[in-house]
Amino acid sequence: MKTIYLDNNATTAVAPEVRDAMLPYLTDLYGNPSSMHTFGGQVGRAVEDAREKMAALLGAQPEEILFTSCGSESDNTAIWSALQTQPEKRRIITTRVEHPAILNVCQYWERQGYHVTYLGVDGKGRLDLDEYAEALSEDTALVSVMMANNEVGNIYPVQRMAEMAREKGVLFHTDAVQAVGKVPFRLSETAIDMLSLSGHKLHAPKGIGVLYIRKGVRFRPFLRGGHQERGRRAGTENVPYIIGMGEAARLAAENMEAERRDVARLRDRLESGLLKAVPDCMVNGDVENRLPNTSNIAFKNVEGEAILLMLDRLGICASSGSACTSGSLEPSHVLRAMGVPFNYAHGSVRLSLSRYTTEEEVDFVIAHMPDVIKTLRALSPFKD
C-alpha cells in the first residue's frame, strides 16, 4: 500500500540533495571542526559555508546564526537569554495559540514569578494588535509570537509587532519553525531580535535547529562549556546535520516562490474537493492569510482521532494538530482559543503538503474521505 504523506507540519522527508550533502561528513570527513589541523579545518570551513547558506535564506549575517539541536532548544534559549540579560524586567507577552515549545516554557517562568500575558485570537485565529499595544510596557522583557501557526497555518504580523516592541525598548522573538522556507522575509529589514527554526520542517533531518540573534542583542548561553559557536553554545558541532541544514536552506531559497505557488494550488484543490464532497465541514483559520501548504478542516459530529485511524488504514498520514500533543482526546488549544464549536473542533484534521505531494495523492484523498466521514457519522455519539 502506497503511503500518502500529508503531515508535513509534523516533519518532512529529508531531501535527496540534503542526504547526499551529509554523507561525506558521516564517513570520510569526520574531523572535529575546532581542530587546528587541516583535516579538521576543512570540516570547519564546511560548517561556516552552511552558516552562510542559512544566513542567505533568512536575510541575515552569518555571525547572527547559532546552530542548536532543534526548534525547542532555540525557543528555550531565546527566552532564557532575554530574561537573564534583563533581570529588572518581569513581564513576557505571548499568545494563546503558540506551540507547546513556547507555551510550556512561558508557564514555567510564570511559576518562577514572571507575569505572562497570553494574547487571545478571534474566530479565525487572528490577533488583535490593539490588545497587543495595550499589553506592551517598558518593563516587558520579551515578546514571543509565532510567525505562522502550526495547526491552522495562520501567518501573523510579526514584523509590525516587532516594530511596536522596539518602540517600547522590548525584545521580540518569533518561533518561525513553520514559516521558514514558505514565507519570504529578510531579517535585516525587520525589527525581529531573535528567531527560531527547526531543520526537520525544512527537509533537513531531525536534531538540528537554528537561533538567529540580531547583532548587538545581549545574549547569555543556555548551554555552557566549550568555545563552540563563538562561545554561545557549548558542545562539539553536529557537523553532518549542520551541513544538511545548509543544503536545505539553499534549496528553500532557490525554490521558495515555485513551491509556494505549486503547493498552494494543490492545497486549494484538496480543500475545495473535500468541501464539495463532504457535507457539514468547514475550514479552520484565516484562509486569506495562511501558509501555502496547510489546510485544517473540521468535520461536524465526528471524532478526529477516528478519522485519522481510518485514513491510516488507507495509507493516508494526517494529523489532528501539533505532533507534540498527539494522543490527547481534547480539541487542540488552538481551536479552543479560536472558539471553534465543540462538535466541529473534535472533528478537525490538519492536512499539510510539501514539494513532494502529487496531484494523484490529493485526488486519492478527495475520493476516499467522503466514505470515511459517512461511516464515522453513522457510528458517532455526537448528534445535533
CATH fold label, 4-12+256-379: Aspartate Aminotransferase, domain 1 (3.90.1150)
Half-sphere exposure (Cβ direction) of 174: Cα atoms closer than 13 Å: 27
Of 298, 262, 264, 315, give the one whose Cα is nearest residue 373.
Answer: 298
**pLDDT score, position 284:** 98
324 noted as active-site residue? yes
Length of the chain: 384
Place of cell 472558539: 339
pLDDT band at 322 (very low <50, low <70, confident <90, very high): very low
Neighbours of 227 (CB within 10 A): 9
Q: Which of 106, 281, 317, 324 is catalytic?
A: 324
Q: Give the containing element (helix H, strand E) for 310.
A: helix 304-313
In contact, 249 and 202? CB cutoff 8 Å = yes
Mean pLDDT of the chain: 95
Q: Residue 23 pLDDT more than 70?
A: yes
Q: Where are the domains of the chain?
A: 4-12+256-379, 16-252
Q: In whole angstroms, what is the distance from residue 143 CA to residue 139 CA?
A: 11
Which pTM was predicted? 0.95
* Termini Cα distance of the chain: 37
Per-residue pLDDT, 321:
60
- Residue in the block written with cell 473534535: 346
Q: What is the pLDDT of residue 328?
A: 52
Asked if residues 196 and 150 have their Cβ atoms less than 8 Å apart, the reply is: no
Give the C-alpha distances (Å, rounded to integers) separating 128 from 56, 124, 176.
32, 11, 20
Q: What is the CATH number of domain 16-252?
A: 3.40.640.10
